[in-house]
Structure 1
Amino acid sequence: MNKSVFVPGHVTGFFNIENHEISLKNGSCGAGFLLSRGVKTTISPSDKLSIDVNQGDEIVIEEVLKILEIDDTFKITQDIQLPIGAGFGTSAASAFSLTLAINEFLNLGYSQELCGQIAHMAEINLGAGLGDVIAQTGKGIVLRTKPGAPGIGEIESFRKDVFIAYKTFGTIKTSDIISDPHHREVLSQVGLKYLELFEKETTLENFLSFSNSFSIETELMSDEVRNLVDYFNSSEDILGSSMAMLGNTVFAFAYDEDAFKDLDIEDLHICELNNIGIVYD
């Protein structure tokens, strides 16, 4: 019998890096949100191990299988519903949904927390991300208050009924940013400032405002991203807009979907804030 698990995409608005020599404690604190789109992994019976991914390579899948040390044969099918390398946490969603689906298919008896730790280790090993996995255990707007994998780090979630629009102009290699000493220092200093402010008043308005300020002060925005963010923020019907961390991508929030449809923006995608979280099928 097939087993499928959906894990939502996650976009970070602002963050600071928290280094630790133990992989499960290594991570970041910050704030972001979950999307109604993400990664769905399906495991089905097969007489050999096979992988079918609709976009990207198989490196995340291979890393998870390496950690699990499983010799069983089955088919892995992944539907990645968001752009890769553009700040949507797709590698984390890939690793997490895969681990959860294999756990269900093989009746391993692992907890969701343990599956999250395995996915977090895969992320750290690949340098693909620092806090997406634990955020993907939440719902809506997610505040990461303690770094690390699920069961070690800590989060708070806030459900909101809003629409999200996004447009990506390409990719940013996360590992290049988080491994660079200068970027790490700037990200952590600026991120800590806005994290402390947000913890005092966790409103949607503050999340959007602090995200925009963070992206400006860290100087990570390209000109095309900055121009679109400014265009969104000039509209009275848009709640706020900023850059996805870390991706050459713009996101914006609105209460009414028509607020986005009335704007003249090509290749704009619209979805909803995910207030449900992980879905088992």
Structure 2
Amino acid sequence: MSIESSVGKAFAPGHITGFFEIHDDPDPRRKGSTGCGVVIDGGIAAIVTPGEEKTEISLDGVSVNADTTRSLIEQIVDLPVHVECTSSIPIGCGFGASAAGALSTAYALNDAFSLGLTSNQLVEAVHIAEVSNGSGMGDVEAQYFGGVPIRKVPGCPPYGVLDRVPSPSFEVHCIVLGELSTGSVLNDGGFMREINSAGRSALRSLLSRPTIANFMELSKQFTLKCGLASDRVIDAIEAVGAAGGMASQAMLGETVFACSDGSVKEDVLEALSTFAEVTTYNVTSCYQHPG
């Protein structure tokens, strides 16, 4: 395939973090976070074609700077490209959109220009772009791993170590109540001390009992301990609990995510809908109940 006719397409899923701990390191490949979250079937799709004079990136038809994606592009190609992204997740609300945009672009670039890079090499490039721009610390690895990933050791492959909470496929119901800047939180020393202490404790507790119910409970405890939740977020979490479901705040975003068993699903949806429009995503893993 000639460069002039090259087209690459790829999709990367969103990731909702329930709790985390930041780990700093002078090596960006080892820098990152530990914690746990869920990978959803909504995300960002990218179409890559050769550019003209300079690299151009659009999101849902609007030109954007997309610093993380731009940094990723500069790492793996040395020519201008045109990147057209479309999103099925909210931006800037705790769904790992910056990582999903860069990861889908990386795979699309590899496809379009036959770069011959492996998945681990692509994930490494996106991870470096993420931590260098302060837009995220562990979403990339989680999105690559899928399911309900537990980030046990920070960093990209081969340094990072991940496991999963075993679970059949289930639904996650989300409401977005506003935006929360990842950078503003990660740069606040007071917040980070609280976050790291709470995140470390939550990870230990999850590894001793790796279930979805425990993950949701630990995520809620983490949210309340860290003081990042607005009154409205707390009200929504409590309303879901009163309806028989489990809810917490997406990290980092003014977003509430909830799950429930079938018997109380409608009650949970009704509780969430009093705060904002509800969007439901699927979380899929290889584990399934027999039968």
Give the TM-score, by structure 1 length. Answer: 0.91
Amino acid at match of 2:78: I
- Residue 261 of structure 2 is matched in structure 1 by 255
**Cα separation, 1, equivalents of 2:270 and 2:37:** 26
Could you tell me which of 4, 10, 15 is aligned with 1:5? 10
Corresponding residue to 1:144 among 146, 151, 175: 151
The one of 153, 167, 179 equivalent to 1:171 is 179
User: Whole-Å Cα distance in 1 between the matches of residues 82 and 225 of structure 2?
Assistant: 45
Over the matched positions of the two proteins, sequence identity in percent amounts to 26
1:279 maps to none
Alignment of 1:257-272 (within 5 A): 258-263=266-271, 264-265=273-274, 266-272=276-282
SS of residue matched to 1:241: strand
Shift of 1:161: 1.8
Query: Cα distance, 1:50 vs. partner?
Result: 3.7
Aligned to 2:114: 107
Aligned pairs for 1:129-278 within 5 A:
129-157=136-164, 158-236=166-244, 238=245, 240-256=246-262, 258-263=266-271, 264-265=273-274, 266-275=276-285
1:96 to 103, 106, 113: 103
Partner SS, residue 169 of structure 1:
strand
Q: Is the 8 A contact 1:8 1:274 kept in 2?
A: no
> SS at the partner of 1:122?
helix
Within 1, Cα distance between the matches of 2:168 and 2:251? 21
Output the TM-score relative to the length of structure 2: 0.88
Query: Following the alignment from structure 1 to structure 2, what is the Cα–Cα distance between the partners of residues 16 and 272?
Result: 25
Indicate if the aligned counterparts of 1:30 and 1:145 stay in contact, CA closer than 8 A: yes
One-letter amino acid of the structure 2 residue matched with residue 116 of structure 1: V
In the TM superposition, residue 230 of structure 1 has moved relative to its aligned partner by: 0.5
For residues 157 and 87 of structure 2, the distance between their equivalents in structure 1, rounded to whole angstroms, comes to: 22
CA apart distance, 1:243: 0.3
Number of matched residues? 273
RMSD (CA atoms): 1.8
Cα distance in 2, alignment partners of residues 180 and 37 from structure 1: 30
Contact 1:139 1:159 in 2 (8 A): no
Q: Is the 8 A contact 1:5 1:40 kept in 2?
A: yes
Partner amino acid for 2:59? V
